[in-house]
Amino acid sequence: MLRGLAPKLILSLTAIVLVVEGGFAWVNARIQERQLLAEQVLRADELSDTIRSATWHAMLADQRETAYQVMRTIGRQEGVGKVRFMNKQGTVTFSTGPDTGHMVDITAEACDVCHAAGEPLVRVTAPSRVRHYRDEKGARLLAMITPIYNEPACSDAGCHAHPADRTVLGVLDLALPLDRVDDEVAGIRWRAALTAVVSGALLLVFAVFFTRRFVGRPVRELIGATRQVAEMDLERPVIVHSRDELGELGGAFDRMRERLLAARREIQEFTRSLEEKVAERTKELAATRENLERAERLASLGRLCASVAHEVNNPLTGVLNFSRLLRRILTDEGVPAERRREFRDYLEQVIAEASRAGRIVTDLLVFSRGQRAVPSPGDLNQIVRQSVAALGPRLADLGVKAILDLDESLSPVPIDGPRIQQVLANLVGNAAEAKPKSGRVRVSTAIGEGGTTAVLEVSDDGQGIRPEHLPRIFEPFFTTKDVGQGTGLGLAVVYGIVETHGGKIDVRSVPGEGTTFTVRLPVTPGGSVAR
């Protein structure tokens, strides 16, 4: 509530008025109090002169009871507190109070006016003769002392002549109560406080009306307009009912709203146009991409057909050539005895070339089918042993021995056994054909880091693979073997089988030192491994 502009303005104005009114009231009360006290001083001085004049003749005739009676009469008047008379020695010779006959201490407040300097003063001014004090009941009093000087008539009187060198014969002490003054001052203060409160209340009412009418409503309208613009509601105009600076601010804010609205419409129009262009370009790109994909498929199909035709044509050409040779050897009577051995060699060549063409077609079928593996928990070590045992005759023909380094702690791995055997057949066969220097191919299994993979490695110390060939060894029909020695589909098939198992295959090779193929298979069904 107090964080609003209007409450702050109202409280500030009210506080200022109360402070100013209070200050003026306090100053006015002080001035009036001083005026009333001055009037009391003047009254005390006049009463003192009256008492002195009224008792002059009685005192001159030494009729003290008469003088004291005059003092009693004056002391009974309203507004007079106490009248007493002290002689030169400080003895109270008369008092309307109970202190008649008492000795006054010259250090007391009543005597301090004349005796403060050590030596008694003879002449003192009227303001200096005034003092304020409180009696035993706590009432405030204004007292005035009036010296009774030794006049020639007193020093010449025969009844009680005073020495002529005595200047002061005694002191008249008159006390006036200040109840009326205090009451009037209290009334002045009360009226000032009431005036301040009434003025503050009127100002508060006026300030509330003023701020609500000329400040609060325009400010609320501006706040509402700000929220409206912040929520991007730019259609409604900003209206501020004020003709002052707040009205001008509202007008400027409305002009800003109109510019924002125009800018938003331009952006929307530009966005719509851009979306249409993007849609049109997207459609064109889709058509272009479709054409490119069709062209790429045709090109891939063309390359595949060319590769297949090339790979199959080589053994077929051999079969055709050897068949022609066989036809030349064969006569109506059969095969001449002297050429039967040659006929048999040519026939073996025909069989070899036909078998090679069959292998190409078989590998191509396996590669093209891309069948997903159907894994089940299996013993990878046992599959390695079976695969190497099946390759025994071929390895023996090549003069290569397989060395197994199997981790017997390897738990069952979800694998498709026959397809993993095909992977081992290709990898071990390629390693054996790499002509290892030691005549050995090493096959190992192990548990991968973290226990999440099973690792299968096939390594040799043969001639290795040249660095420029490494990126292409898994491409279909790519081979580094001599013509007629391979189809170029073996490693492509291996790569596909490993991928269908959710695994990865890596190759490390150093020319002249050997090659290592590393296969990582996940140990959980459906798992995957990072390369």
Tell me whether residue 527 is in a domain.
no
Strands (E), 399-513: 401-405, 413-415, 440-447, 453-460, 504-510
Residues 6+ positions from 66 with CB-CB distance below 8 Å: 55, 58
Per-residue pLDDT of the chain (531 residues; tens, 9 = 90+): 455 666 777 777 777 877 777 788 788 878 888 888 888 888 888 888 888 787 777 776 667 778 778 788 887 877 787 888 887 777 888 888 787 777 876 655 556 555 554 445 445 565 677 887 787 788 888 888 888 876 665 555 555 555 655 667 778 888 888 888 888 888 888 887 788 788 777 877 777 777 766 666 777 777 777 777 777 777 777 666 666 776 777 777 778 877 888 888 888 889 989 999 999 999 989 888 888 877 776 665 666 676 667 667 767 887 888 888 888 888 878 888 888 888 888 888 888 778 767 766 766 666 665 556 677 888 999 999 988 888 888 888 888 899 999 998 888 989 888 888 888 888 998 888 887 888 889 999 999 877 889 999 999 988 888 888 888 888 776 666 654 455 567 788 888 888 888 899 999 998 888 999 999 999 876 555 554
Nearest-CA neighbor of 314 among 493, 490, 482, 472?
482
Tell me how far the alpha carbon of residue 328 is from its chain's centroid.
96
Residue 249 belongs to some domain of the structure = no
Does residue 488 sit within a domain?
A: yes
CA atoms within 13 A on the CB side of 249: 13
Closest of 435, 286, 458, 438 to residue 384, by C-alpha:
458
Q: What angle do CA 361, 363, 366 make, to 5 degrees?
A: 110
* Residue 131 confidence (pLDDT): 82
Question: What is the gyration radius of the CA atoms in the chain, in angstroms?
Answer: 66
Q: How many Cα atoms occupy the beta-carbon half-sphere of 373 within 13 Å?
A: 27
Kindly state whether residue 464 falls inside one of the protein's structural domains: yes
Residue 136's Cα: distance from chain center in Å? 71
CA dihedral 319, 320, 325, 331 (to 10 degrees): 110
Residue 4, pLDDT score: 61
Residue 305 maps to a domain: no
Decide if 322 is inside a domain: no
CATH number for 494: 3.30.565.10
Strand positions, DSSP E, 75-167: 82-87, 92-95, 130-134, 140-149
What the block records as the tokens of 75 is: 């002391």
Residue 483 domain-assigned (yes or no): yes
Q: Which residues are bridge partners to 173 per DSSP?
A: 84, 145
Q: Give the count of domains, the chain.
A: 1
Cα–Cα distances (Å) from 332 to 149, 324, 325, 336, in that order, read 194, 15, 15, 10
Q: Which domain, by its residues, includes 443?
A: 373-522
Phi-psi domain of 450 (left: phi exceeds 0; alpha: psi -120 through 50; beta: other): left
